[in-house]
Amino acid sequence: MDQRQLLALQLASWQRARTLARLIREAENLWHVDVRDLRRLGALELDQLLHEVPPGLRPRVNRWLKGYRAATRLS
């Protein structure tokens, strides 16, 4: 694998981690709305996202979540 392909793979991984962290943060934000249906939707979306994060990407997503000051952390 040449340098360009390696860089492209690293960039794709970085972008995926950032995107997942942003989606988790947005789902968390729904918890602060006083409408029950929105809270339930936020909980469902957050649960779905947590199951979609691949184990190998979790440390990187956690770094983004920390930077976004999100309450969720992946184990």
Residue-wise pLDDT tens digits, 61-74 = 999 999 999 888 98
Residue 38 confidence (pLDDT) above 80: no
Q: Is residue 29 part of a domain?
A: yes
| Greater model confidence, 55 or 33 | 55
pLDDT attached to residue 32:
76
What domain count does the chain have?
1
State the sign of the Cα–Cα–Cα–Cα dihedral 57, 58, 60, 64: positive
Range of the domain at 56: 3-67
Return the structure tokens found at 54: 């691949």
Greatest alpha-carbon pair distance for the chain in Å reads 52
**Each residue of 1-28: pLDDT tens digit?**
799 999 999 999 999 999 999 988 888 8
Q: Is residue 37 assigned to a domain?
A: yes
- Residue 73, in any domain of the structure: no
**Global pTM?**
0.58
Where would I find the beta strands (DSSP E) of 1-75?
Answer: none
Place of tokens 């794709």: 12
Asked if the structure places residue 20 within a domain, the reply is yes
Count Cα neighbours of 38 within 13 Å in the Cβ-side half-sphere: 10
